[in-house]
Amino acid sequence: MGKPLKSVFKKEHRDDVSNPSANPVFSTVAEMFLSRRRFLQMGAVAGAAASFPFLLKPENALAAVSQPSALSKAVSLGFTSIPVSTDDTVRVPEGYIARPFYRWGDATGIKGNLPAFKFDASNTTDEQAAQAGMHHDGMAWFSLPQGEQDPAHGLLAMNHEYIDNGMLFTDGTANWSLEKARKGQNAMGVSIIEVKKSGSDWEVVRPSGFARRITVNTPMQLTGPARQQALMKTAADPQGEQVLGTMQNCANGYTPWGTYLTCEENWSDIFVKKSERNALEKRYGISDSDESYRWSEVDDRFNVDKTPNEPNRFGWVVEIDPYNPNSTPRKHTALGRFKHEGAAVTLAADKRVVTYMGDDQKFEYIYKFVSDNNYNPADREANMQLLSAGTLYVARFNDDGSGEWLPLVFGQNGLDKSKGFDNQGDLLIKTRLAADAVGATKMDRPEWIAVDPHNSGSVYCTLTNNSDRGKEGKAPVDAANPRANNTFGHIMHWHEEGGDPAALRFKWDILVLAGRTDTADEKAKGSMKGAEFGSPDGLSFDHQGVLWIQTDVSSSTINKKAYEGMGNNQMVATIPGTNEYRRFLTGPRGCEITGIAFTPDNRTLFINIQHPGEGGDDITDPANPRAVSNWPDNNPQGRPRASTVVITRADGGIIGS
């Protein structure tokens, strides 16, 4: 292919294959049809109980820790599905109101430091550190004060996943410098903002003692088995205990003790190594060039030839206490190192903490972590240690609809020195290699995972797409990934044995094959009734058990090619088991819909619009930033800006039903 893909299409490159392992695959065409029959039955039978006999049994209904709420389970959707849209705006159903709120460059609310956004992108590096970052992604709600369920006053913690240097600077990457790289570093990471309902509307509280920006240079502590490992030590941190910053923060999680989890996804795009790359670097996708971020040219930390262990310090889940702006974020190495999409937290029957996580790249895996110790609602300090010690598992989806969680533990299943692992900490730095060795199932790009708040043993995962499935030399179709050249993606469902999230066995099925409803072509056909969609990514339950799905069709494909006529990226809702999907929201041009947080009363919904105006190229032409979109400001001298959107009902009612 000549020129490295990364220099042309970063978004395609980062999802490229870096898993050459020859794991067993299970399927035959007949087995693929077995799975298909199962979900067709599911769609044909009205009601969840008939199609998922394990659902709705009271003994399986644990307390809804992942979405604490007293609201009862919804039995039907209560809004009218809206049409697809190619307009440069956010559309929601009649009776709903959607308003942009905390756009890239808006002041975060840090006391004495409230810089206004400059529409020509001329804000300085220091100003950017006190403003919303770019490319908002995962997000969570935390009521104020801590421990309360106030639906009208709280904190939003949110990720700023990546940057577009063509939008971030008036002159793009001209006159490239460390100062410019630092502005990019300040535009990534996490925002914590205080928000309050004022009448029927919402405002960002400025200034606020909680307001905080966490960036690529914020000091963090390492916890767990990989802390102090040889591969974690650098000249700047000879003990291997402290890391500067977090980056490429994609989806998220939140814990029952009121902390935010931010997940490091495409961090390997930032690092560059010109000399021969070793097997570990190749397995994690470190490449020899980067024309998107260009930090490695001016900041040696990202030049792997000069700082060889720095990449090992990324690819983790980071825990942040949003209630304490002086707290030090912690990277929890016990949860494994990969391209973390999100971290869905729930509690086992015995109150151990269970965290489900996807590794979003073609042919990568689904993981779960089970803590050693139990959650104690009366001891927040002890809970803060729960993610530092436990067991990491990786999923195998058997072709008969059963599945297993395989432990990634040094000394078990052949994971020892003979396979290149020195100890548990070393193994966790090499998580992908350990998962290869135990025979995990290669999936079609695992994105978000959601636990049903009314059935905590019931879990769902978006598999966004995989254009390489079934290609020559790549993994063939299997029962869990049943479509070759999977253009539209699908959503997996599994139910843990006995309804216990800590179980080591499960049963799985496919909730829905995404795709079009207007085609007879099996490869493109969606199995849903109602609103069609493709490339599912964001996935979350609300407090009533409605499942919300957000799409991320890549910006080079939106409303084109196989997606022609399907419009801009969107958000749909379903109640699992009904197979009915309704379209709730359509976004502006060139954006992805992501990030989702409901207030405890389910009457306010916050979502994120990421990268409006992205045209499919790696870097937007700085001379023409409005070529695709000028949302949300429509300022003739402005540029599109990622933004949180606050959504309410005009009558103040519950969202979705």
Binding site for ligand FEO (CB under 6 A): 161, 250, 265, 341, 360, 447, 537
Instruction: Quote the DSSP letter at residue 488.
Output: S
Rounded to the nearest whole angstrom, what is the least distance from the CB of residue 242 to Ca ion in the complex?
28
Rounded to the nearest whole angstrom, what is the least distance from the CB of residue 443 to ligand FEO in the complex?
12
Q: Phi and psi for 91 in degrees, rounded to 5?
A: -115, 140
478 binds, among ligand FEO, Ca ion, none (CB under 5 to 8 A by kind): none
| CB-nearer residue toward ligand FEO: 62 or 449 | 449
DSSP calls for 92-155: --TTEEEEEEEETTSB--BTTB-PPPPTTS---HHHHTTB--SSEEEEEEEESSTT---SSEEE
161 binds, among ligand FEO, Ca ion, none (CB under 5 to 8 A by kind): ligand FEO
| CB-nearer residue toward Ca ion: 468 or 537 | 537
Cis? peptide before 632, omega within 30° of 0: yes
Task: Give the alpha-carbon dihedral of 396, 399, 402, 403, to 10 degrees.
Answer: 0
| CB-nearer residue toward ligand FEO: 447 or 509 | 447
Nearest to 569 by CA among 511, 458, 645: 645
CA 490 – CA 446 distance, rounded (Å): 10
Rounded to the nearest whole angstrom, what is the least distance from the CB of residue 585 to ligand FEO in the complex?
18
- The side-by-side arrangement of strands in the sheet containing 580-586 is 529-530, 580-586, 570-574, 547-551, 536-541
CA 367 – CA 380 distance, rounded (Å): 26
Rounded to the nearest whole angstrom, what is the least distance from the CB of residue 376 to ligand FEO in the complex?
33
CA 125 – CA 655 distance, rounded (Å): 39
269 binds, among ligand FEO, Ca ion, none (CB under 5 to 8 A by kind): none
The tokens for 524 are: 């493109």
* Cα angle, residue 39 at apex, residues 34 and 45 outer, rounded to 5°: 125
CA distances from 172 to 271, 348, 430, 611 (A): 20, 49, 36, 16
Rounded to the nearest whole angstrom, what is the least distance from the CB of residue 594 to Ca ion in the complex?
6
Rounded to the nearest whole angstrom, what is the least distance from the CB of residue 533 to ligand FEO in the complex?
16
Residue recorded with tokens 């914020």: 218
CA distances from 65 to 147, 293, 346, 453, 643 (A): 13, 39, 6, 7, 28
Q: Phi and psi for 645 in degrees, rounded to 5?
A: -125, 130
592 binds, among ligand FEO, Ca ion, none (CB under 5 to 8 A by kind): Ca ion
The tokens for 266 are: 């495409």
Q: Given the rule CB under 5 A, which residues bind Ca ion?
A: 447, 537, 552, 592
Nearest to 181 by CA among 229, 217, 209: 217
Rounded to the nearest whole angstrom, what is the least distance from the CB of residue 301 to ligand FEO in the complex?
22
Rounded to the nearest whole angstrom, what is the least distance from the CB of residue 552 to Ca ion in the complex?
4
| CB-nearer residue toward ligand FEO: 161 or 542 | 161
Rounded to the nearest whole angstrom, what is the least distance from the CB of residue 261 to ligand FEO in the complex?
15
The 10 Å Cβ neighbour count of residue 401 is 18
Beta strand extents in 205-341 (DSSP E only): 212-214, 219-223, 242-244, 249-254, 260-264, 317-320, 330-332
| CB-nearer residue toward ligand FEO: 32 or 250 | 250
* Cα angle, residue 594 at apex, residues 388 and 36 outer, rounded to 5°: 90
Nearest to 367 by CA among 354, 352, 357: 357
452 binds, among ligand FEO, Ca ion, none (CB under 5 to 8 A by kind): none
CA distances from 68 to 60, 271, 509 (A): 16, 39, 26
542 binds, among ligand FEO, Ca ion, none (CB under 5 to 8 A by kind): none
Rounded to the nearest whole angstrom, what is the least distance from the CB of residue 462 to ligand FEO in the complex?
9
| CB-nearer residue toward ligand FEO: 550 or 604 | 550
| CB-nearer residue toward ligand FEO: 390 or 590 | 590
468 binds, among ligand FEO, Ca ion, none (CB under 5 to 8 A by kind): none
Cis? peptide before 145, omega within 30° of 0: yes
Rounded to the nearest whole angstrom, what is the least distance from the CB of residue 530 to ligand FEO in the complex?
25
| CB-nearer residue toward Ca ion: 92 or 463 | 463
| CB-nearer residue toward ligand FEO: 265 or 436 | 265
CA 287 – CA 253 distance, rounded (Å): 29
Residue recorded with tokens 């697809």: 84
Question: What type of residue sits at position 39?
Answer: F
| CB-nearer residue toward ligand FEO: 250 or 572 | 250
| CB-nearer residue toward ligand FEO: 61 or 553 | 553
Rounded to the nearest whole angstrom, what is the least distance from the CB of residue 451 to ligand FEO in the complex?
19
265 binds, among ligand FEO, Ca ion, none (CB under 5 to 8 A by kind): ligand FEO
| CB-nearer residue toward Ca ion: 500 or 552 | 552
| 8 A C-beta contact, residue 335 and residue 316 | yes
CA 641 – CA 613 distance, rounded (Å): 8
106 binds, among Ca ion, ligand FEO, none (CB under 5 to 8 A by kind): none
Rounded to the nearest whole angstrom, what is the least distance from the CB of residue 462 to Ca ion in the complex?
8
| CB-nearer residue toward ligand FEO: 257 or 293 | 293
Rounded to the nearest whole angstrom, what is the least distance from the CB of residue 360 to ligand FEO in the complex?
4
CA 17 – CA 436 distance, rounded (Å): 14
Nearest to 583 by CA among 539, 538, 548: 548
532 binds, among Ca ion, ligand FEO, none (CB under 5 to 8 A by kind): none
Residue recorded with tokens 């006995």: 498
Beta strand extents in 402-519 (DSSP E only): 402-407, 443-444, 446-451, 458-463, 490-496, 505-513
| CB-nearer residue toward Ca ion: 263 or 646 | 263
Rounded to the nearest whole angstrom, what is the least distance from the CB of residue 25 to ligand FEO in the complex?
23
In Å, how far from its chain's centre is CA 492?
Answer: 16
Q: Phi and psi for 631 in degrees, rounded to 5?
A: -80, 145
| CB-nearer residue toward ligand FEO: 31 or 265 | 265
Nearest to 536 by CA among 546, 544, 526, 523: 526
